[in-house]
Amino acid sequence: MNTAAPAIPTATIHPLWLRITHWINALSVVIMILSGWRIYNASPIFPFSFPREWTLGGWLGGALQWHFAAMWLLALNGLAYLALNLLTGRARRKFFPLRPKEVARDMLLALKGRLQHASLADYNAVQKLAYLSVIADLALIVLSGLAIWKSVQLPFLREVMGGYDNARVVHFFAMSFLVLFIAVHVAMVAMVPRTLLAMLRGR
């Protein structure tokens, strides 16, 4: 006699670990950016500063403490996200194959406002490219940040970044890309609110 319970079709779109790491990442990224702007203001590399009200930490010392605290959250959570994605094979399933032809086609459809997101379980080619780009960008942010923070202890990393001063420029532009990604990402989520429900509830 077969006593096994009948298989219940499960509609989980985002597993719990993915949702937890996504929201921890979003929180730590926002803290890093706002405190980073306060740190930048103490010694700007371009002829402008960020409005004080947009920054976190109050003063340079406070902002550094926020930045270093959130740095551990970002790096450890990012490592967990990468490890789980690679070990479960999810990264391969979700983000690949990624063909330039499909990116061009989906980009065109997106610009015409006709890009569909019918199945929340599958990313279109533009999403795949955007998510892979922001993951690479976050890795670059962490590495350039390490080159600035420990420039004497990590000479190889410092030199790869083109020296201490250049590492600050790399860090700044990687942050700028991240801010652009967040603006577009949140706008896209607002256009398809069902995706937010799935990222909260998993289903």
Residues near ligand HEM, by CB under 6 A: 18, 22, 25-26, 29-30, 94, 117, 120, 131, 134-135, 182, 185-186, 189, 195-196, 198-199
**Residue owning tokens 């997106």:** 110
Note whether 142 and 134 are within 8 A (CB). no
Q: Which is nearer to ligand HEM, 142 or 198 (CB)?
A: 198
Give me the least distance between CB of 91 and ligand HEM, in Å please.
8
Q: Which is nearer to ligand HEM, 39 or 182 (CB)?
A: 182
Q: Which is nearer to ligand HEM, 109 or 120 (CB)?
A: 120
Non-local (6+) Cβ contacts of 158 within 8 A are 147, 151, 164, 167
Give me the least distance between CB of 69 and ligand HEM, in Å please.
17
**What is the Cα–Cα distance from 134 to 121, expressed in whole angstroms?**
19
Give me the least distance between CB of 90 and ligand HEM, in Å please.
7
**What is the Cα–Cα distance from 173 to 184, expressed in whole angstroms?**
17
Q: Which is nearer to ligand HEM, 59 or 96 (CB)?
A: 96
3-state helix, strand, coil in the chain (%, to 5): 70, 0, 30
Give me the least distance between CB of 121 and ligand HEM, in Å please.
8
